[in-house]
Structure 1
Amino acid sequence: MLVHVYFHEKDIRSTEIWMSKGCHQVPLQTQKPDLMFQMMTADDTIIYEQTVSVPRYKMPPLPFQDELPVPATLLTDGDFVVTLPVFDKMDHLIIHSLETNVETIEMIRPGELKLRKTSGTAVTIIDNGDPAYNLDIVFLGDDYGPTEWGKFRDDVNACIDEFLRFSPYTDDFYLFNIYRIDNTVDLDCMVTCAGISGAICCNSASIYTAAVKVPYDEIIVIVNSSTYAGTSTVTIGGGGPESYAMVYGNMAAYATLVMIHEFGHSFGGLMDEYDYRIASGTPWGPNCDYAGCDSWKDLSGVGCYPVCSYGNLFKSNPRTCIMESLRREYCPVCAKQLTKLLDVYANMQPTPDLGYKSIGILLILLCSAFLLFYRKM
């Protein structure tokens, strides 16, 4: 796995970011590898520390009509991007692997960095408040010509409309901030790549460079193609800006549903529920389990049905979930996982500050109520 380390200035919306020279080879050995980034002063005092989970799976496109299913693939190589803030006192950055124990991978010094400009125009579509407390989603476009940004805008709006039709997103949409980047750079996306029909491959470094103009938790890339396709990267457990979803741009067909399916992977950490036609595998996501389905035994209205990605795994509902087919609903187990992740943002919402004026008004109302009650006595 090649790790690109980016540094942004104090304002994450800045048009400039810092990029390290070259890449840093990170060997991945476990299913859920974590990396720790520590910024140090000259005397090795830690001034900033961040741990990130590396995306572990690349999810295939949802089979369309009579197409043969393609299994998820383990990410052992490719690009992975980490974005970090800049501190004036930083003397060096150390990258650690936390797979088994703390192992130093590489040290980077400021002299190894060079300035790189981002491009594109950032547009805020839905603003529900401070990005620190909300789920921030950014849409990027690829292969839209100079005269097609109107189509990109319409494609993004169609995806947002689909979010509004889907539970549990509908009930929690007040937690969403949504942005669009009218990026003028090529994201190097290819439809039907790596010999897989319907798969999308993009340049990860280009995606993160374009997205850094806005604060984001999730990235969705729309490729301006009419060919049915969709792919996503997934971190175990779901969520996090390290993963992203990619979808084709034919919104009049099934693209919005494919987007919801891929977002279920990249945000929810959900597995595919259709049959890979592979005898056995491991349930690394919350919606597939071994026989008995102990993972959701306390959830009412569900069962234990074969197959879930692999022949030895089971799902909670037969053919009623968008993680299995193009249907406009998540199964209860998937919905529970997504709600759990959305609740993280719901629980972060700041308590409203009444302020002195509001407290004064409240006291006046209480006094008025007391006087009214006293006069009636």
Structure 2
Amino acid sequence: MNNKAQLNIAIIMISSLIIIGGTLYFAYDKIMNIEEKVSLVEYERFIQDLDFNIKKFNYGRKSGSSEVIELKVPNGIQKICFVDRETPRDKFLSPELENEFEVRFDDNVFIEPFDVPSNKIESFELDEKNNPLCIEANNFITLKLEKTSNSTKIESLQVLFQSEKKCLPVFENGEDNIDLVFIGNDYENNDDLITDVNSYLEVFKNKEPFASNMEHFNAYIRVDNAGCETKGYIQCNNYELKKMASDCPNDYIIVLSKRSKTADALLPLRSSSVGNIVKANTADDELVVIHEFGHSFANLWDEYVDDVYLSQHITSVDELPNCDSVGCESWKDLENTNCYKGCSLSSFYRSTENSIMNNYRKSDGKEFGTVNEMIILENLERYK
């Protein structure tokens, strides 16, 4: 190849690199602009969600009740600061925040970095000792809402975890209700525990008959590690669990054993329920806690068949409120029921083909079914 041809090829290659480089820069610049717009959209959605949750709680709950909410925070937001303009505040907490407060004379929610727009949200108040309330934003913030006589008091659950309190309320509806105490096992941080507790409580809020009766429940987190062993099943010292739970109002103890789905695929961990203690593997389906609670709270039995194990614990079908003998006389006149063979033992019968008390991992096993709902409601009547 002659020198002229080589020179032409070199010029073409250099020109191509310049064009490609310019194209990549242009594309990167566009992507960055899109990212900024998406962040703004996410930020606006975050503020809307925050405002909606506070208003919904404020107008829908009675004085003295409380609840924990968790909100996703857009990327780029470092800190969220709430300021109660009606309560004395610490003016020296942050000079930058104080400057924003004075300039934006009507707003009460400020975002760090402070070039992000501030906002005004109605119907919240702060304790004087926590005013302003500034919360580090690590993808999520978790707020405790408490209904007062006229508005909603806001606290940071992250801050409460850092205090010396052993028992943290997740939501409260007053005394003489069903008290659930969650205790984490093998959690690396409290943020993950808060997220999981909220996720399982959302299941309760969306599954009947619990969904229509959540005003009869209180929920707490006992801040400690349950200290359970996980070798095939979750083995705990029940005496120590009850001792830990005694720092909270407690009727039922729910141990959440943190586990990755990968580890669980290699060595499955069985969840269980004995008496008022539920032990749940978090790598399982989201319905695992409500399934085990069905055992503990309403004495519901498994509607799948395990003759080898369960035959050691059952002497009569009369012991099983959600199972029956051939003919299913207990529920034959109820709508949306049938008589399917197999309910704990192969000789017993169940009312639905599948349910939460059977194989809740399948798409047709996501509800309790008529008979189980009636049994749960009978137990809930004690708290009405």
Taking structure 2 as the reference length, the TM-score comes to: 0.51
* 1:124 and 2:205 aligned: no
Output aligned runs, 1:227-242, within 5 Å.
Answer: 227=264, 228-234=268-274, 242=275
What is the CA-CA distance between 1:191 and the residue it aligns to? 4.0
Q: Which amino acid aligns with 2:204?
A: F
Q: Is the 8 A contact 2:169 2:221 kept in 1?
A: yes
Q: Is the 8 A contact 1:274 1:309 kept in 2?
A: yes
- Please name the residue that 1:307 is paired with: 342
> Counterparts of 1:160 and 1:316 in 2: how far apart (Å)?
26
Bigger-Rg structure (1/2): 2
What is the CA-CA distance between 1:288 and the residue it aligns to? 0.8
> Which of 1 and 2 has higher RCO (CA within 8 Å, sep 6+)?
1
Output aligned runs, 1:4-23, within 5 Å.
Answer: none
How many matched pairs? 206
> Counterparts of 1:216 and 1:303 in 2: how far apart (Å)?
37
Q: 1:223 aligns with which of 257, 265, 289?
A: 257
2:211 is paired with a residue of what secondary structure?
coil
Q: Is the 8 A contact 2:271 2:281 kept in 1?
A: no
Per-residue displacement from partner, 1:201-255 (whole Å, max 9, x unpaired)?
2111121111001111111100111225443334xxxxxxx421111123xx61x
Q: 1:213 aligns with which of 228, 237, 247?
A: 247
2:271 is paired with a residue of what secondary structure?
strand
> Counterparts of 2:209 and 2:269 in 1: how far apart (Å)?
24
1:325 is paired with a residue of what secondary structure?
coil
Q: 1:271 aligns with which of 301, 305, 314?
A: 301
The Cα RMSD (Å) is: 2.0
Greater fraction of residues in helix: 2
- Please name the residue that 1:200 is paired with: 234
What is the CA-CA distance between 1:339 and the residue it aligns to? 0.7
Q: Is the 8 A contact 1:274 1:308 kept in 2?
A: yes
Q: 1:163 aligns with which of 177, 189, 204?
A: 204
Residue ranges of structure 1 left out of the alignment (5+ in a row): 1-118, 193-198, 235-241, 347-377
Q: Is the 8 A contact 1:138 1:181 kept in 2?
A: yes
Q: Is the 8 A contact 2:182 2:255 kept in 1?
A: yes
- Please name the residue that 1:329 is paired with: 367
> Counterparts of 1:167 and 1:263 in 2: how far apart (Å)?
13
> Counterparts of 1:298 and 1:187 in 2: how far apart (Å)?
48
Residue ranges of structure 2 left out of the alignment (5+ in a row): 1-163
Per-residue displacement from partner, 1:281-328 (whole Å, max 9, x unpaired)?
532221111112222234232121101111110001112x11111132
> Counterparts of 1:259 and 1:229 in 2: how far apart (Å)?
14
Post-superposition, which runs of at least 4 consecutive aligned residues in structure 1 deviate over 6 A? none
Q: Which amino acid aligns with 1:322?
A: I
Q: Is the 8 A contact 1:288 1:315 kept in 2?
A: yes
Output aligned runs, 1:1-377, within 5 Å.
Answer: 121-130=166-175, 133-145=176-188, 148-184=189-225, 186-192=226-232, 199-226=233-260, 227=264, 228-234=268-274, 242-250=275-283, 254=285, 256-278=286-308, 282-283=316-317, 284-319=319-354, 321-326=355-360, 327-346=365-384
Per-residue displacement from partner, 1:33-86 (whole Å, max 9, x unpaired)?
xxxxxxxxxxxxxxxxxxxxxxxxxxxxxxxxxxxxxxxxxxxxxxxxxxxxxx
Q: Which amino acid aligns with 1:344?
A: R
Q: Is the 8 A contact 1:124 1:180 kept in 2?
A: yes
Q: Is the 8 A contact 1:232 1:266 kept in 2?
A: no
Q: Is the 8 A contact 1:286 1:295 kept in 2?
A: no
Distance 1:189 1:206, change over 3 A: farther
> Counterparts of 2:223 and 2:165 in 1: how far apart (Å)?
5
> Counterparts of 1:298 and 1:179 in 2: how far apart (Å)?
40
> Counterparts of 1:201 and 1:120 in 2: how far apart (Å)?
26
Distance 1:288 1:213, change over 3 A: same
Per-residue displacement from partner, 1:141-179 (whole Å, max 9, x unpaired)?
11123xx11111111111111111111010001111111
